Amino acid sequence: MDDAIVQAVANYAEKALGKEGFRYTCAVVANCRMLVAELEEENEGIHSLDMNALIIAAYLHNISTAEFGFSDHHVKSAEMAVAFLHTLDAPEQLVSHVEQIILTHTKAVAPEELDLIPLEGRILYDADKIGRLSGLAVVTSLIEFGARYPNRAVNAEILAAILRHIEERFIDLYQSLNTVPAQQLAKEKFGNTLAFLDGVIEHLSDATPV
């Protein structure tokens, strides 16, 4: 691995994303390393994997969000990644590979289409999504709803409907994971979150509206 380029990329990501954004990015990088280690242990045919490109893409996959938000962030982040890697005189093959990984890391892929997506892109997708299957992600979703509809009154019925929608999103997200290690890693966290949501929804459904 080209440690000089990776370190420069990490420094760039930290400055661009800020403390909280970079903390999440580092968690994604760690998830990538863990998933690759699990795949290697299971002999899942990852001999062609480019670890250098994967780690660089993991650091840069959200690079545009602090300035431009999350709408189509994979496109803008890929553009910014390419521009920055060119300033480092990174090999063009590496630059192109990183670009493709970032461009594909947000896409849920049907099993019959997996071969159309770079393996590194599938791993980054899983690494990025694992953290979104926890109870903390429920809180984040509720905060996002409040920010989007600041003047909307919420009673027990509406909150239960919101949580059902969040639960559906969680199920879709879990089912979209590409690798067996990611599914295994997320299974307990996913199960706990679903049990929590089911309990809250049941309680709200029995509650007397105020």
Question: What pLDDT, in 10s, does the model give residues 70-97?
Answer: 788 899 999 999 999 999 999 999 999 9
Please state the pTM of the whole predicted model.
0.80
Classify residue 148 by burial, with Cβ atoms within 10 Å: 0-12, 13-18, 19+.
exposed
User: Do the Cβ atoms of 134 and 194 come closer than 8 Å?
Assistant: no
**Domains annotated on the chain, with CATH:** 1-132 (1.10.3210.10), 134-210 (no CATH)
103-113 pLDDT, tens digit each: 988 877 777 77
Query: Which residues of the chain, if any, have pLDDT below 50?
Result: 208, 210
pLDDT at 210: 44
Element (H, E) at 79: helix 73-87
